[in-house]
Structures are given as structure tokens and as C-alpha cells.
């Protein structure tokens, strides 16, 4: 009888706690809807879509022209991360943040991102505009850093790569907790082809995820690598069949959602064991700026040739426009 009464009391306590948990969750979801409704009009190169059932925030990159990291796109991601942290971190929200996952993808078919804005780079280098180069580089460092710490929130970040991820595109994906790529996706760091190096985090993220040897191999080769090879090297985490990348992301979330709290703890532990500071990333971008100002005229012509090649990768309707 005593055991039965104790059990009954526990059950009653659980029953009474469930409505409170639902209230907290519903209030949190309403808060997220409010935050995103305020954010979306401010974002011209990112489209947000929140799925409350799984707590998944899809962010789709929509830069005009070439699918690269424009200065505006970089600033918008920084604004997104800082706003989410400001509105959701701490207080009653910290234990039950409604956003559990942030997904990064591209609106351009077959291209995740072509990386940094090479057209901007070449113009700034020709102008000897050190301040402009440093402004862009430091912003990129801050963007990937905020992503690497999940905006200071208990959530998991996933890059969905459905096509080419080059230069800064690969660097941004590497700053996520996980990379899920379709089989035909390719990855590369082509900067060495015009006598530069990927200075927005490639070495830092690759060295921590794989090894310094792998990082230098990828950075010095200048070539693109298929998804299968990147999976074997540990650069990407999961590979999906072509056209089924989104399905793979959803399946992964469904499979692991019950372990979300453990995942967050593991990724926080990873950051403690292999810490990466914003200062480190900025110091490396300063090295990149020095290197960029040392690029020669023939190297600049190669960079501009690559820009023209990238222009041809745009969908036909964008080229006509």
C-alpha cells in the first residue's frame, strides 16, 4: 500500500508537470515566431523557415548574382546569431530553447557556396585597400566563430551541401557541428591557384576535425574533392544520395532528437578540449590580408578569370537579368 501510494504521488507529480512543460514550450515557440517575424524583413540574403515540431530552423542563402559570401550575407548571419543569442540565451529560455537545430543550405542548384567574394577581393587588392580587406576578413571570422559556438545556445548546427562548396563555402560548412552532403557534392580550397590561401578558418577547423596534415594537403592541392573522399577523410560526416540531402537531414534529426541534450553536451566538450577563439581566427585573417596584398598582377588575372567562370555557373534566368 505504501509503495502504491508513493508511486501514485510520483505519477501525479509527473502529470502536473506535463502541462507546465507544455506551457513553457508553447511560450517558447511563440517567442521564436515573434523573433523570426522581426528578423526576416531585415534579412535580404537569407530566407528563414522554422519547423516547430522538430525545433529546426532552416536558413537558405540567397545572395544576388554569384552564389558567394557577399559582405551583406556575412553581416546578416552575424546579425542572426547575435539576435538569437540576445533573445534566447539565459533565464528561463536557456533550459528549453525551442530552436534545437539550425540548417544551412543554398538556394542555388548544385552550388552550396563558391566562397569569398573574389570580385570584391580583386578590386580591393588593386586599390591597395587594406582596411576593406580586413573588414571583410574579420567579419567572416566572426561569422564562422559564432556559428562554431552555436550562437552560444544549446543547439546543433548542420550544413547541407548539395553541390559545390569551395573556399569560404567549405570553411563556413566546417564551422558547423555536422556536414551532410549529397554524393555528387564537391569540396575544394582553390585559393592557392591564384597564390593565396583560405584564411577564413580552413586551417583551424580542418586541423581540429581531421589533422594538420589533411588541412595542408587540401589547402595546397587547389583541386576539388568528391564527397566520398571527404567522408573517408573525416571532413564530412554523412553522405546522402543525390536529390535526397534534405531527406537525410530530416532523418538524422528524427533519429537523434532524443539525444539532442547529449549531443549539445558533447559538442560543448569538443570546444573545451579543442578550443578555438575568435582571436585566433582574426589573427589568421590578418595573415591572409598581408598575403592578399602580396598577390601579383598575373595572380589577380587568374582570380578575375575564376570570377568570370563562376558567372557562367549562374542559372540562365539570372544571367539574362
Average pLDDT (53-73) is 96
pLDDT at 257 over 80: yes
pLDDT at position 311, please?
82
301 within a domain of the structure (yes/no): yes
pLDDT at 248 over 90: yes
Question: Which positions ≥6 away from 80 have C-beta within 8 Å?
Answer: 39, 43, 46, 48, 59, 151
When comparing pLDDT for 174 and 307, which is higher? 174
pLDDT at 24 over 90: no
Q: Are strands 224-226 and 186-188 parallel, antiparallel or unpaired?
A: antiparallel
**Strands laid side by side in the 186-188 sheet:** 110-113, 163-166, 186-188, 224-226
Cell 570553411 maps to which residue?
171
127 within a domain of the structure (yes/no): yes
pLDDT at position 17, please?
60
**Strands laid side by side in the 56-61 sheet:** 46-51, 56-61, 101-106, 156-161, 178-182, 238-240
pLDDT at 12 over 70: no
CATH number at residue 284: 3.90.226.10
First to last CA, the chain: 79
5 within a domain of the structure (yes/no): no
Note down the domain range covering 47.
19-320
Domain count, the chain: 1
pLDDT at position 97, please?
82
240 within a domain of the structure (yes/no): yes
283 within a domain of the structure (yes/no): yes
Average pLDDT for the chain: 90
Rounded distance between C-alpha atoms, residue 17 and residue 298, angstroms: 69
Taking only the tens place, the pLDDT of each residue in 263-299 is 999 999 999 999 999 999 999 999 999 999 999 999 9
Among 13-17, 80-84, 196-200, 310-314, whose mean pLDDT is lowest?
13-17
pLDDT at position 315, please?
55
Of the pLDDT bands very low, low, confident and very high (cuts 50, 70, 90), residue 96 is low
pTM of the full structure: 0.89
62 within a domain of the structure (yes/no): yes
pLDDT at 121 over 80: yes
11 within a domain of the structure (yes/no): no
Let me know how long the chain is.
321
User: Which residues, listed in sequence order, are joined to residue 57 by a DSSP beta bridge?
Assistant: 50, 102
Q: Are 155 and 97 in contact (CB under 8 A)?
A: yes
2 within a domain of the structure (yes/no): no
Taking only the tens place, the pLDDT of each residue in 187-246 is 999 999 999 999 999 999 999 999 999 999 999 999 999 999 999 999 999 999 999 999
Amino acid at each position: 500500500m505504501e509503495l502504491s501510494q508513493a508511486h501514485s504521488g510520483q505519477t501525479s507529480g509527473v502529470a502536473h508537470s506535463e502541462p507546465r512543460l507544455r506551457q513553457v514550450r508553447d511560450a517558447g515557440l511563440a517567442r521564436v515566431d515573434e523573433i523570426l517575424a522581426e528578423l526576416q524583413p531585415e534579412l535580404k540574403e537569407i530566407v528563414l523557415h522554422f519547423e516547430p515540431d522538430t525545433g529546426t530552423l532552416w536558413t537558405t542563402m540567397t545572395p544576388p548574382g554569384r552564389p558567394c559570401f557577399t559582405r551583406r550575407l556575412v553581416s546578416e548571419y552575424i546579425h542572426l546569431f547575435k539576435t538569437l543569442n540576445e533573445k534566447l540565451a539565459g533565464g528561463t529560455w536557456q533550459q528549453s530553447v525551442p530552436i534545437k537545430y539550425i540548417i544551412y543550405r543554398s538556394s542555388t542548384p548544385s552550388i552550396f557556396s563558391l566562397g569569398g567574394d573574389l570580385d570584391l577581393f580583386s578590386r580591393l587588392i588593386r586599390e591597395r585597400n587594406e582596411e576593406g580587406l580586413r573588414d571583410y576578413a574579420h567579419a567572416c571570422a566572426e561569422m564562422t566563430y559564432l556559428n562554431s559556438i552555436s550562437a552560444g545556445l544549446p543547439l546543433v548546427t548542420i550544413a547541407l551541401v548539395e553541390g559545390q562548396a569551395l573556399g569560404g563555402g567549405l570553411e563556413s560548412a566546417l564551422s558547423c557541428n555536422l556536414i551532410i552532403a549529397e554524393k555528387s557534392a564537391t569540396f575544394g580550397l582553390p585559393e592557392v591557384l591564384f597564390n593565396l590561401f583560405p584564411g577564413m578558418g580552413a586551417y583551424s577547423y580542418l586541423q581540429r576535425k581531421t589533422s594538420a596534415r589533411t588541412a595542408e594537403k587540401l589547402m595546397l592541392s587547389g583541386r576539388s574533392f568528391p564527397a566520398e573522399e571527404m567522408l573517408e577523410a573525416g571532413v564530412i560526416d554523412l553522405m546522402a544520395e543525390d536529390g535526397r540531402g534534405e531527406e537525410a537531414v530530416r532523418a538524422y534529426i528524427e533519429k537523434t532528437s532524443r539525444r539532442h541534450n547529449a549531443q549539445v553536451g558533447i559538442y560543448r566538450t569538443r570546444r573545451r578540449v579543442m578550443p578555438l577563439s575568435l582571436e585566433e581566427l582574426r589573427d589568421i585573417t590578418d595573415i591572409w590580408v598581408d598575403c592578399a596584398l602580396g598577390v601579383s598582377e598575373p595572380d589577380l588575372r587568374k582570380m578575375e578569370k575564376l570570377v568570370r567562370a563562376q558567372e557562367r555557373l549562374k542559372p540562365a534566368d539570372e544571367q539574362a537579368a
